[in-house]
Structure 1
Amino acid sequence: MNINWLELADHVIAGKEISDQQALSILNCPDEELLLLLHGAYQIRKHYYGNKVKLNMIINTKSGLCPENCGYCSQSSISTAPIEKYRMVDKENILRGAEAAYNLKVGTYCIVASGRGPSDKEVDHVVSAVEEIKEKYGLKVCACLGILKPEQATRLKEAGVDRYNHNVNTSKEHHSNITTSHTYDDRVNTVNIAKEAGISPCSGVIVGMKETKEDVVNMARSLKVLDADSIPVNFLHAIDGTLLEGVNELDPRYCLKVLALFRFINPTKEIRISGGREVNLRSLQPLGLYAANSIFVGDYLTTSGQESTADHKMLEDLGFEIDYVATNDRVGV
């Protein structure tokens, strides 16, 4: 299918959706057309976000000890990966992470904990930390604590949590190949519970888990239906000791096509290049920001990221601007 990528971008900017055939054509884009495809994706990105880039940073507040059996995760009950395991860290550690995020001009600080879902005591702990983070640093806070109950979502909202992350991870059709300890609908339900509490929904995917290209298209479309404000696109960093150990299906050019696809299908949303960026995009990392408008800086959950100074230099070299407000009043960041 011969496509003019700039015309397709104009089609999207005009408020029209791309077809499944066009979506698959993006993933099947010949490598010699890749820069043209990215130019099209960039027109959409520029229309909605200009040259601004949002920075996000994670703190892993609780590691391992998870009863779920997700095949990609080093923290799952079936993983033999030699990771550090610990209960919820104290509030001082969470606040130190917030201070580091503030100093790195990070817009969103992400408080993440392993497990199926938080206990009420763990929610109390996060609430206490968030209230102090808001008072001291004014950071936008995202929580990622697993499956939520409505009353827990309400408490997080009241404490000042701006966003809640719960990734769908893969397509509904492929979900049971990745985990059986919870359903795809469990994940969608948690995102909706956060939305109903007035928290901005964040939900994303992991690409490279033996899914088909049709699955990738379905992921992007399901997140459009879910109306996720922020969409982290992770690329599998296969960890020894997990069920997906040794899986290596991705190359940097395909990863760029995936990012372009998510921009074409979710034109108005924050598209974030997330876990696996360094090992999958490699030297082509800067090109990803012509489609995406957000990245994580620092380390991930149990894997290391690129040095934050290198990320800042990359943005400077691209001529992009960090989307950051240097005051304690960061509404809208």
Structure 2
Amino acid sequence: MFDIENFDPENRLNESAIYGLLNLDVDRLLMIAKKIKDKYSPSFEACSIISYKTGTCTENCSFCAQSSHYNTGVNFRKVSSEDVISKARLMKNYGSKRFSLVSSGRGPMDAEIDEILPIFEKIKNEVDIGLCASLGIIKERDLIRLREAGVTTYHHNLETSRSFFKNICSTHSYDERIETIEAVKRAGLVPCVGGIIGLGETFEQRVELAITLKNLEIKSVPFNILIPITGTPLGGIKILDKSDVLKTLAIFRIVLPFATIRLCAGRENILGKYQKLALNSAANAMMIGGYLTRPGEEIEKDLELIRNLDLIKV
């Protein structure tokens, strides 16, 4: 039985105890998660992204609308630097604390890095908002250049557990993702690393991902829920039940007591009115202003949700 009264986040739960959490019901897990979150991660923040380059990705991630391997109706597009800066200003005004430029593809070429750096420099000089980048598998030297341009966080999801990864992607390896995360650390940036649940993985494999994140000492964790995309191999997969999502989220909080767990894509569709429960009990951050190929919730609805949370806003 999990002993919440004697829980010490500095002493890591052993893996047997972590997997044992799966034996608890969702209400018990949410209660434990809330106590941990309220004590160790009580503050809340909103973050936002813009898809700078969309579509024509060479990788074959089976859930992704942007892969060139599948016919999903997502066409290549690229926004202007003015559009990026304008959205950064807009999301700052809406209360976002962090803003990320996201680009599709395996990773950036030198020319793309050269193109992106001035955008970050301009945002740094003109908008008071934390800067993040999500550009795929990347060289350490380019990460250093991003840091020098004002970027402080680099996002690179593991997507799922090591044991399940081969089921969703064959064009690059799990180790390549891990090495990118290690390069982020060496370059002096904060790694933002999470995944997507609902890809067909087991509960045990979700716990495996949480343990990997803990071992990597990840402090910023995007938590996405799959919305199946027509045309992808997972287009017909069954959507997760909200109780399974909440149970997984609660376990992530217990395993990662100090992390900023960011409720991201899929939250509106799957959780609906239970988003407030998720945020009050386990997650302590939320992405607002839309995603990569999906619009997300209307911004005013998100702001109303945030206003009604039992959280400390930062």
Name the TM-score, length of structure 1 as normaliser: 0.90
Shift of 1:84: 3.5
Q: Which residue of 1 aligns with 2:38?
A: 46
Q: Which residue of 1 aligns with 2:64?
A: 73
Q: Distance in 2 between matches of 1:226 and 1:30?
A: 28
Q: Which residue of 2 aligns with 1:182?
A: 172
The verdict on how the C-alpha distance between 1:9 and 1:62 changes in structure 2, with shifts beyond 3 A counting, is farther
Q: Which residue of 2 aligns with 1:105?
A: 95
Shift of 1:28: 4.4
The verdict on how the C-alpha distance between 1:305 and 1:77 changes in structure 2, with shifts beyond 3 A counting, is same
Structure 1, unmatched stretches of 5+, are 324-333
Check the 8 A contact 1:26/1:260 in 2, yes or no: no
Which of 15, 25, 34 is the equivalent residue of 1:30? Answer: 25
Q: Which residue of 2 aligns with 1:171?
A: 161
Q: How does 1:135-150 map to 2 (within 5 A)?
A: 135-150=125-140
Check the 8 A contact 1:9/1:43 in 2, yes or no: no
Shift of 1:8: 2.9
Name the TM-score, length of structure 2 as normaliser: 0.95
Check the 8 A contact 1:41/1:264 in 2, yes or no: yes
Q: Distance in 2 between matches of 1:192 and 1:278?
A: 32
Q: How does 1:1-333 map to 2 (within 5 A)?
A: 3=1, 7-8=3-4, 10-13=6-9, 15-31=10-26, 34=27, 36-50=28-42, 52-87=43-78, 89-289=79-279, 290-323=281-314
For 1:16, give the aligned amino acid: N
Partner secondary structure for residue 233 of structure 1:
strand
Q: Distance in 2 between matches of 1:128 and 1:28?
A: 51
Q: Distance in 2 between matches of 1:210 and 1:165?
A: 23
Q: Distance in 2 between matches of 1:233 and 1:187?
A: 17
Q: Which residue of 2 aligns with 1:328?
A: none
Q: Distance in 1 between matches of 2:294 and 2:144?
A: 31
Partner secondary structure for residue 173 of structure 1:
helix
Check the 8 A contact 1:41/1:260 in 2, yes or no: yes
The verdict on how the C-alpha distance between 1:23 and 1:280 changes in structure 2, with shifts beyond 3 A counting, is farther
Q: Distance in 1 between matches of 2:225 and 2:85?
A: 29
Check the 8 A contact 1:235/1:276 in 2, yes or no: yes
Deviations 1:59-93 (A, max 9, x none): 00000011000000000122211124214x22111
For 1:284, give the aligned amino acid: Y
Shift of 1:249: 4.3
Residues matched between the structures, number:
313
Q: Distance in 2 between matches of 1:9 and 1:39?
A: 12
For 2:81, give the aligned amino acid: K
Shift of 1:25: 4.2
Shift of 1:21: 4.2
Q: Distance in 1 between matches of 2:12 and 2:269?
A: 32
Shift of 1:144: 0.1
Q: Distance in 1 between matches of 2:158 and 2:59?
A: 15
The percentage of counterpart residues that share the same residue type is 36
Deviations 1:35-76 (A, max 9, x none): x322211121112232x2110101000000110000000001
Structure 2, unmatched stretches of 5+, are none
Check the 8 A contact 1:143/1:164 in 2, yes or no: yes
Partner secondary structure for residue 107 of structure 1:
strand
Q: Distance in 1 between matches of 2:60 and 2:106?
A: 10
Shift of 1:9: 6.2
Q: Distance in 2 between matches of 1:24 and 1:280?
A: 24
Q: Distance in 1 between matches of 2:303 and 2:104?
A: 29
The verdict on how the C-alpha distance between 1:154 and 1:9 changes in structure 2, with shifts beyond 3 A counting, is farther
CA RMSD between the two structures: 1.5
